[in-house]
Chains A and B, each alone.
Chain A
């Protein structure tokens, strides 16, 4: 029973990697369609719409970051293989949840904003600064959850349970 600790911890790793990765894949895909449409009209917009397309992609990276951090904390990569108690395993799982769930949802909503921003830039290329700002507003929440997951994992590492 007590060996379930590592199972929960790995579940946490999976959640951190696959939920935001899923969201970003959907998001970058959606934004990419709009981006190609904009470039087909005006090829010089390429670099601008590329940045807008990539914005919903960061959640996947944040998720990867937490997943790697968790894996290296529980000894799946690098040195280690230390024993993880059930309580600690569940704590790692919990620590991975914020970036997992918020990463998924924020990537998709950010993609919607990115699409609108791409349309904005297609009509008014001079408004790129503002267009970039709208998706960045959504990203705030992904960053906040990344922060919580990050601090939580670092915190759990030093827990004596």
Chain B
């Protein structure tokens, strides 16, 4: 239950077995490959182009799948994302591999159909915009380009503003010098406050005078237009749009007809990602004419089985040595499911670095405890644990990461129920409010311990005590790490001294009147006992001043650094412990907001309307409070682990073991599923 032992291996085998060996390793998912420096007579092959081609094929298929799912949605069961990958025999991969070329062509066809559809849709939009413009010219009996007859000349265009024919005539009259305005004919085809479209017929001999007058009132000719009259053009555009819609429909039908390929596409996408992963390993091999070398890491417990299997089936040599002092070795953690569920939280920070132990067991108990105190409502906890529990029970095949997260929230929920019962919070004070409002006499569930809202100081001291315990535990782990690294003196100076320094001070504090004022109880210490404790603490301080700067050669520097170290330790104890007061603040926040929601809901009083109001406000209010506080509890549990706890002993910097395997989205190989 901790960090698993990692081994470095070197595999030497014949080229002719290469394909089968790599495929075997991929299905086994037990070995991580690293790049081999080729020795004499060995070289490397560059298959990056093939690797990239597989990836781009996989991406094409993914896009094609998205197209199919959009045009012909498949029925997906509720919560399908929790169902995990389907286990298939290796023969399914071989079947897909055979038909890969044809399937890929189909996928590209689907993409092309979709591309055409999009192009048609764009065209339709363009035509629709033209139709909209055309509406303003529909009443025009001639094409916009019509310029007149032998004796007359026509002006077709628009001016701004809304005008009747008479109005336009008057506007123009101001700019004529003769009787031209009697010799023109105006028809308005469209008139709106922003613009008036009209056509004007004048005699050929008045052409220049009319044109000049029109120019002066801001006349402009239409931008679009051809030799068709507008209403005919509108028909043509309508027809074009109809045709395009028919094309789109026919493409859609073709895509719907391809819908049965969706499952095969999924398998094909996975097949290509498997090939890409294999080719990534191929890049790291060293090859000669007849042999190849693969190096990497394997778990100690898998090494022997792998060696037996490889050496008995192929002309191969598989040698593995422990990778204790290998700085680059990856890390693999294994714990019971209660503890391992937090691996995601740890991974978000960092995996343990070389020489560090697995911090998961140490952090897990505190994590669940603190989450529970911050969320601290039996109702909420029951919902959380219930939902996660049912999902875990119903979807046994779900993805490993989902499983870990749901397990984590399941245990967080259990802890939340526990603390909710301890502090008597059931959706806030819903029992009291409902009994009081609707049944006339108040009933409450008594707390197992006490109600934090009524005794906040007691709760604060409890939270700080939890903080003190976790911080002390952090120092103990720091000491353990130093001892494991063969540095017992470091453990004494850096871990034991800070603990010995603070506890006498705390005991003396607990005997003071100030503490009585806060907690209403105090320790009965004799003055000599207090003095002895203070002396122990003072001695520790002196030792810390002397040792905290021991890396420096000069005594002057050493003392200065030591004094700074002492300051850091004291300030650290104070601020880190106080940081745990957030357990109280967030815990009270959950309970108080929940109670406020109940109170608001109960405002309707004891009648039918009141009951309806209560149900609505209760459901909405509690849902919001649940969301806000689950976020707060999660973020701040993480923070207390990362900053206060890990700050004492844990650096991280390791890399997670990532064995060469089948990292697919839809299917997994049955044999691999059996192994892990």
Contacts and interface: CB of A to CB of B under 8 A. Distances in A.
B632 A130 contact: no
Nearest to B582: A143
Interface in A33-65: 51, 54-55, 58, 61-62, 64-65
The interface residues of chain B, by DSSP majority, are classed as: helix
Interface in A113-135: 128-130, 132-133
A62 B590 CA distance: 10
Contact of A69 (B349, B579, B592, B632): B592
A80 B132 CA distance: 66
Interface stretch (A8-16, A83-91, A101-109, A147-155): A147-155
A78 B599 contact: yes
A130 B349 contact: yes
B628 A147 contact: no
Interface in B330-351: 345, 347-349
Given A65-B592, A65-B593, A147 B585 contact: yes
A54 B596 contact: no
A78 B345 CA distance: 42
Interface stretch (B148-156, B224-232, B410-418, B636-644): B636-644
Nearest to B463: A147
Interface string B467-494: 0000000000000000000000000000
Contact of B632 (A58, A78, A144): A58
A136 B589 contact: no
Contacts of A147: 460, 581-582, 584-585
Contacts of B586: 143
Contact of A140 (B579, B631, B632): B579
Given A144-B581, A150-B456, A133 B628 contact: no
B631 A54 contact: yes
A54 B632 CA distance: 10
A143 B460 CA distance: 13
B588 interface: yes
Contact of B638 (A58, A72, A132, A146): A132
B63 to A, nearest CB: 14
Nearest to B632: A58
A68 interface: yes
Most buried by B among A133, A137, A143: A143
B596 A68 contact: yes
Nearest to A147: B585
Contacts of B585: 143-144, 146-147, 150
A4 interface: no
Nearest to B627: A54
A77 interface: yes
Contacts of B582: 140, 143, 147
B348 A130 contact: yes
A68 to B, nearest CB: 5
Interface residues of B, number: 31
A154 to B, nearest CB: 6
B589 A133 contact: no
A77 B599 contact: yes
Contact of A136 (B588, B592, B636): B636
Contacts of A150: 456, 585, 588
A81 to B, nearest CB: 15
Contacts of A140: 579, 582, 639
Contact of B599 (A64, A72, A151): A72
B635 interface: yes
Contacts of A78: 599
A150 B592 CA distance: 10
If over half of A's interface residues share one DSSP class (helix, strand or loop), that class is named, otherwise mixed; here it is: helix
Contacts of A65: 589, 592-593, 596
A78 B599 CA distance: 7
A133 B349 CA distance: 9
Given A51-B631, A61-B593, A147-B584, A129 B579 contact: no
B635 A61 contact: no
A128 B348 contact: yes
Q: How large is the interface on A (under 10, 10 to 19, 20 to 34, 35 or more residues)?
A: 20 to 34
A161 B453 CA distance: 22
Interface in B607-647: 628, 631-632, 635-636, 638-639, 642-643
Contacts of B348: 128-130, 132
A154 B586 CA distance: 16
Contacts of B638: 129, 132-133, 136
A154 B349 contact: no
B592 A68 contact: yes
A54 B349 CA distance: 21
Contacts of A136: 635-636, 638-639
Contacts of B453: 154
B593 A129 contact: no
Contacts of A144: 578, 581, 585
Interface in B175-198: none
A133 B456 CA distance: 27
Of B349, B457, B599, most buried by chain A (CB within 10 Å of CB) is: B599
Contact of B589 (A72, A137, A146): A146
Given A140-B579, A147-B585, A133 B631 contact: no
Nearest to B586: A143
A144 B578 CA distance: 9
Contacts of B578: 144
Nearest to A61: B628
Contacts of A146: 585, 589
A133 B643 contact: yes
A111 to B, nearest CB: 15
- Residue among B596, B599, B638 with the most chain A CB within 10 A? B596
Interface in B546-605: 578-579, 581-582, 584-586, 588-589, 592-593, 596, 599-600
Contacts of A77: 599-600
A69 B642 CA distance: 32
A108 B460 CA distance: 28
Contacts of A139: 635-636
A139 B345 CA distance: 20
A128 B405 CA distance: 15
Nearest to A78: B599
Contacts of B599: 72, 77-78
B456 A151 contact: yes
Interface in B630-671: 631-632, 635-636, 638-639, 642-643
B426 to A, nearest CB: 19
Contact of A132 (B457, B460, B600, B635): B635
Contacts of A151: 456-457, 460
- The 7 A-B pairs with the shortest beta carbon distances in the complex, nearest first, are A129-B348, A147-B585, A68-B596, A136-B639, A143-B582, A143-B585, A146-B585
Given A132-B635, A132-B638, A140-B582, 15 more contacts: A61-B628, A62-B589, A65-B592, A68-B593, A69-B592, A128-B348, A129-B638, A129-B642, A130-B348, A137-B639, A139-B636, A143-B582, A144-B581, A147-B585, A150-B585
5 contacts: A51-B635, A58-B632, A144-B578, A146-B589, A154-B456
